[in-house]
Amino acid sequence: MNTTKILSAENTGAGKQPLLIAGPCSAETRSQTLGTAQAIAAHFPDAIFRAGIWKPRTQPGSFEGVGVTGLEWLRAVKLKTGLRTATEVANAAHVEACLEHQIDLLWIGARTTVNPFSVQEIADALRGVDIPVLIKNPVHADLALWIGALERLSRAGIKELGAIHRGFHQADTQPFRNAPLWEKLVELRTRCPEIPVICDPSHICGNTALIPYVSKHALDLGLDGLMIETHIVPQQALSDAAQQLTPAELQMLVSQLRLRSKTSPADDLLQNLRGKINRTDEQLLRLLFERMKISKAIGNHKQQRNLAIVQPSRWEEVLGQQLQLADALGLKPDFVKEIYTLIHEQSVKEQMDD
Ligand code: PEP
Ligand code: MN
């Protein structure tokens, strides 16, 4: 088993391989837990195996985790695969049970980080214990609450402390389950430069399609690792089925990401600017999506009134207006004309498709 301290300065940061935390959203059965762990260990012997034992669910009656039995399965994972293990704790009793079962890393979930009483209870239960702890961002984008939770654990004497970025709930999160709000992350990095940050693309995305995109952004920002939900048969998962990868998909993802050592020291300005670019690109795409929706609505309207789809005078008016604005902003007219021509062509196509 890898015995380096998981979140120590020597194990994270410049020159180090980003951490990989992988495993199912929930431990469901012994064979599902061990089967997933063995498949992960075959490719990633240094990974940390995650599995939720106590699941915070929105609706009562949903699968709420197997409880302490699952800790026995995690012990078996350690023995049989050599992987280190991690699970979520939400109160002092969870902490006690995990310590009894030699869990290697604990994380505090997004729904717990929002509650300072719960975070303090966990911090008190961990006083004097030498174990790495990761704190997920609170459900909503309150940076002070996230930093406050890190401080509570730090004051309780936890030396190996890190953060997990799992996205934020807000009115509009499309196309994500939880909006990444990269600028919040850059702010956390600026305010707490010594805290390693792991990105959790699974809970940001809510599906598997965008996981490569989010993972790459996270690594481009110089984050210290990824937590990726991985299940031996995702379709049968009792929680978060839509967002879990198979171990083979995990291997493919990591090989495409080239999860390589970070060679240059963190460049704060570059990371800051890249965060802004990522955020702006996301906004651009979101606006294009909105614009196409409006085009479609116009298309339906034209169809009902039997109006022609392309009305050249309207197009000239749109382009003329944008070129004036572009000029005032100092943007090259050729560039703006080219972009608007493409957007207009696509709008016409969308209207034709109806
Ligand atoms: C989880 O990791 O399975 C989980 C419940 O995540 P979060 O706290 O980010 O919702
Ligand atoms: Mn989950």
DSSP secondary structure letters along 288-326: HHHHHHHHHHHHHHHHHHT--S--HHHHHHHHHHHHHHH
CB 119 within 8 A of CB 163: no
Is the CB of 203 within 6 Å of ligand 1? yes
CA dist 14 and 20 (Å) reads 16
Q: What is the pLDDT of residues 25-53, one digit of tens each?
A: 999 999 999 999 999 999 999 999 999 99
Query: What's the pLDDT at 115?
Result: 98
Query: Among 205, 224, 255, which residue terminates a domain?
Result: 255
Band (pLDDT 50/70/90 cuts) for residue 12 is confident
Domain-located, residue 221: yes
Q: Does 231 sit in the ligand 1 pocket, CB within 6 Å?
A: no
Residue 171 placed within a domain: yes
Measured CA to CA, the distance from residue 48 to residue 104 in angstroms comes to: 9
CATH of residue 126: 3.20.20.70
* Cβ of residue 136 lying under 6 Å from some atom of ligand 1: yes
- Structural domain for 35, as ranges: 9-255
Residues 244 and 131 in one domain: yes
Q: Is residue 4 part of a domain?
A: no
Rounded distance between C-alpha atoms, residue 32 and residue 301, angstroms: 52
The values of phi and psi at residue 262, to 5°, are -80, 120
Return the sign of the alpha-carbon dihedral for residues 128, 129, 134, 140: negative
Whose alpha carbon is nearest atom 3 of ligand 1?
Answer: 25
Q: If you write DSSP's letter for every residue of 162-174 in order, what string do you get?
A: EEEE--B--S--T
d(CA 163, CA 199): 8
Number of domains, the chain: 2
pLDDT at 262: 54
Q: Residue 20 region, left (φ>0) first, then alpha (ψ -120 to 50), else beta?
A: beta
Burial state string for 9-26 with b = 16 or more CB within 10 A and e = fewer than 16: eebbbeebebbbbbbbbb
Residue to mutate (ligand 1; options 88, 205, 244; most atoms within 8 A of CB): 88
* Domain identity same for 220 and 298: no
Domain boundary among 255, 286, 321: 255
The highest-confidence range among 70-74, 253-257, 350-354, by mean pLDDT, is 70-74
Residues 104 and 223 in one domain: yes
- Cβ within 8 Å of residue 42, ≥6 positions away: 247
pLDDT 10s digits, 314-348: 888 888 888 988 888 888 999 999 999 999 888 88
Residues 6+ away with beta carbon under 8 Å from 37:
23, 49, 77, 80, 81, 83
For the Cβ of 78 lying below 6 angstroms from any atom of ligand 1, the answer is no
Residue 62 lies in a domain: yes
Asked if residue 348 is part of any domain, the answer here is yes
Q: Is the CB of 110 under 6 A from ligand 1?
A: yes
Note whether 213 and 273 are same-domain residues.
no
Task: Return d(Cα 127, Cα 130) in angstroms, integer.
Answer: 9
Gap between the Cα atoms of 290 and 321, Å rounded:
19
Residue 343 shares a structural domain with residue 214? no
What is the pTM (predicted TM-score) of this model? 0.84
Taking the centre of ligand 1 as the mean of its atom positions, its distance from the CA of residue 110, in whole angstroms, is 6
Does residue 146 lie in a domain region?
yes
Quick check: 263 pLDDT over 50? no
Q: Is residue 49 part of a domain?
A: yes
Same domain, 30 and 157: yes
Within 10 angstroms of residue 83's Cβ, the number of other Cβ atoms is 25
DSSP character string of 18-86? PEEEEE-SB--SHHHHHHHHHHHHHH-TT-EEE-BSS---SSTTS----TTHHHHHHHHHHHHH--EEE
Residue 301 lies in a domain: yes
Over residues 190-210, mean pLDDT: 96
Backbone angles phi and psi of 50, in degrees to 5: -105, 150
